[in-house]
Amino acid sequence: MANQDELFKKIASHCKEYGFIFQSSEIYDGLSATYDYGPYGVNLKNNIKQYWWKSMVQMHENIVGLDTAIFMHPTTWKASGHVDAFNDPLVDNKDSKKRYRADVLIENYMDKIEAKINKEITKAKKRFGDAFDETQFRATNPRVLANAEKHATIAKRLATAMTDGNMEDLKAQIEEYGIACPESGSKNWTEVRQFNLMFSTQLGAVAGEAGKLYLRPETAQGIFVNFLNVQRTTRQKLPFGIAQIGKAFRNEIVARQFIFRMREFEQMEMQFFIKPGTQMEWYNYWKETRMKWHQAIGHKAEDLRFHDHDNLAHYADAAVDIQYNFPFGFKELEGIHSRTDFDLASHEKYSGKKLQFFDPETKDSYVPYVLETSIGCDRMFLAAMSHAYTEEIVPDAKGKDSTRIVLKLHPALAPIKCAVLPLLKNKPELTSKAREVFNKLKYSFDCQYDEKDAIGRRYRRQDAIGTPYCITIDFDTLEDDTVTIRERDTLKQERISIDKIASIVLERTDMGQLFA
Ligand code: ATP
């Protein structure tokens, strides 16, 4: 774990050092859980959004896009259940004065039990070598069995307490398991109480409750209230989806772990409207489709897993998370929820307006069911970074071993697709030729011109921001209009003619290949 902590710190500091992510308002010592995306960060983030948007809107005839306002009529949040039920259980440690989410304290305790199981398995793997059968070991080893049972019992009890909003039982569990404050080691806890996660603000000059507005805690409600507008104007029939990317705000009780849990973040959500009764079929379809989307970008199958929800949200009849193996363990990256007709039916009730679909086949009108896929763009960014960050030994310009940090991002996500580098800075014939090449390429994709420092250092700088291709202009270029193209991961260098650069780089960095 220590190594993983170390890795996580390295990723965060790499993000800062290379202009991916900065702490918000850093000159004023920052604002907790709020971050700004730097020059390379914004490119990477835009590419992630594009990958998602294209996979939804461009690749599906029956999914259309939408961009709704962050502010919505306050009744929206009454209808959606957020005013009454968008709470997290909060607990304070009386000695350290630190604030925690009670369910997260219990989940962390469960993680420790899981770690014990994994330790037993690693030990046994070493002992038995190739003959080791993990499934059998899990089913028979008494220590593993005891811990697995303990884990399952706690998971069930936690889920029940969360579903019932039973704050007393959460407190009782913290005491029974002997959970201590991670900062101080103290077990002196306050009562557990509900804390609403929505930020509120005031509308214009209207005072008091009448002017109270919320910053949306999810983008989904903007889609629901526009269901009929979109359906009528696009003449879609069920099943069809509406996709949206936008900011969401949550007053998280504790926001650690860098961009994993922020108070202002971005969501990519798609609501798929379906005929009631078909939800399990679509639930399975979207589970599989979304998992493939993650794998296509290069994430390893073993770093992704499904995690069924133990306690269902007030609106769902089935829900699963796609978890990613972040440096701090498997955590939620995306949620897939079967939301039934909860949202549309509730908006019908509160607004007094019909939100129904007229089915031309059955000739009746009904409130559609909804299948949602919801992913945090920032969490996807962190997953991409965690996957890409690599330290490796490679030969330097003189053939000696040296360590390089390279971001092995999928080329379609890379912030800069290609760097144009004159071999030497003080040779005007090389720099002017390199500028000429750069000025041609910049029409096709994001590229960068760099002439400062020795060529080896420039390659390393491009590796560190994940640039898949470096083009070097040398004296031969002046003779025969050829350049070397260096590939980031293999370090292979090829000689190609200038007029081939654009098509080669375009072909190899094209996002379209991911959908094939
Ligand atoms: P968690 O259990 O981690 O708090 P959640 O279950 O509340 O997440 P959802 O309401 O399902 O999250 O939101 C959908 C997606 O939005 C999540 O899968 C996650 O990727 C992203 N997300 C939610 N909260 C945050 C946050 N505070 N910071 C960054 N991304 C977030």
pLDDT at 396: 78
State the average pLDDT over residues 276-304.
96
Q: Give the confidence band of 210 by pLDDT, cuts at 50, 70, 90.
A: confident
**CA–CA distance, 329 with 1 (Å, rounded to integer):** 9
Residue 76 pLDDT exceeds 90: yes
Q: What are phi and psi of 492, to 5 degrees?
A: -70, 140
To test the ligand 1 pocket, which listed residue (80, 221, 265) has its Cβ within 8 A of the most ligand atoms? Answer: 265
C-alpha of 1 from chain center: 22
Using an 8 Å Cβ cutoff, are 301 and 324 in contact? no
Q: What are phi and psi of 80, to 5 degrees?
A: -75, -15
**CA–CA distance, 177 with 179 (Å, rounded to integer):** 6
First to last CA, the chain: 38
pLDDT (tens digit per residue) in 416-441: 999 999 999 999 999 999 999 999 99
CB-based pocket (< 6 A), ligand 1 = 250, 252, 261-262, 265, 267, 332-335, 374-376, 378-379
pLDDT at 256: 77
- Please give the residue that has the higher pLDDT: either 86 or 397: 86
pLDDT (tens digit per residue) in 317-354: 899 999 999 999 999 999 999 999 999 999 999 999 99
pLDDT (tens digit per residue) in 356-394: 999 988 899 999 999 999 999 999 999 999 999 999 998
To test the ligand 1 pocket, which listed residue (308, 326, 374) has its Cβ within 8 A of the most ligand atoms? Answer: 374
Tokens matching residue 205: 């000059």
The number of the ligand 1 atom at minimal distance from the alpha carbon of 267 is: 16
Residue 193: burial class (beta carbons within 10 Å; 0-12, 13-18, 19+): middle
Q: What angle do CA 402, 7, 122 make, to 5 degrees?
A: 105
To test the ligand 1 pocket, which listed residue (267, 286, 287, 343) has its Cβ within 8 A of the most ligand atoms? Answer: 267
Mean model confidence pLDDT for the chain: 94
Nearest CA to ligand 1 atom 24: 261
Using an 8 Å Cβ cutoff, are 405 and 389 in contact? yes
pLDDT at 364: 92
Residue 416: burial class (beta carbons within 10 Å; 0-12, 13-18, 19+): buried
Q: Which segment of 9-18, 77-86, 197-206 scores lowest on mean pLDDT? A: 197-206
**CA–CA distance, 464 with 304 (Å, rounded to integer):** 25
Torsion over CA of 393, 395, 397 and 400, rounded to 10 degrees? 100
At a CB cut-off of 8 Å and minimum separation 6, what does 10 contact? Answer: 389
pLDDT (tens digit per residue) in 55-74: 999 999 999 999 999 999 99
Using an 8 Å Cβ cutoff, are 14 and 346 in contact? no
- What global pTM score does this model have? 0.90
Q: Give the confidence band of 2 by pLDDT, cuts at 50, 70, 90.
A: low
**CA–CA distance, 123 with 137 (Å, rounded to integer):** 11
pLDDT at 1: 53
**CA–CA distance, 251 with 196 (Å, rounded to integer):** 8
pLDDT (tens digit per residue) in 305-315: 999 987 777 77
pLDDT at 120: 93
Q: How far is the CA of 376 from the centre of ligand 1 (A)?
A: 6
**CA–CA distance, 491 with 460 (Å, rounded to integer):** 11
pLDDT at 362: 87
pLDDT at 251: 94
pLDDT (tens digit per residue) in 153-175: 999 999 999 988 899 999 999 99
Q: Which of 448, 425, 440, 426 is nearest to 481 (CA)?
A: 440
**CA–CA distance, 8 with 313 (Å, rounded to integer):** 31
**3-class secondary structure, 298:** coil
Tokens matching residue 228: 């009929």
Task: State what percent of residues in the chain have pLDDT above 90.
Answer: 87
Task: State what percent of residues in the chain have pLDDT above 70.
Answer: 99
Q: Give the confidence band of 480 by pLDDT, cuts at 50, 70, 90.
A: very high
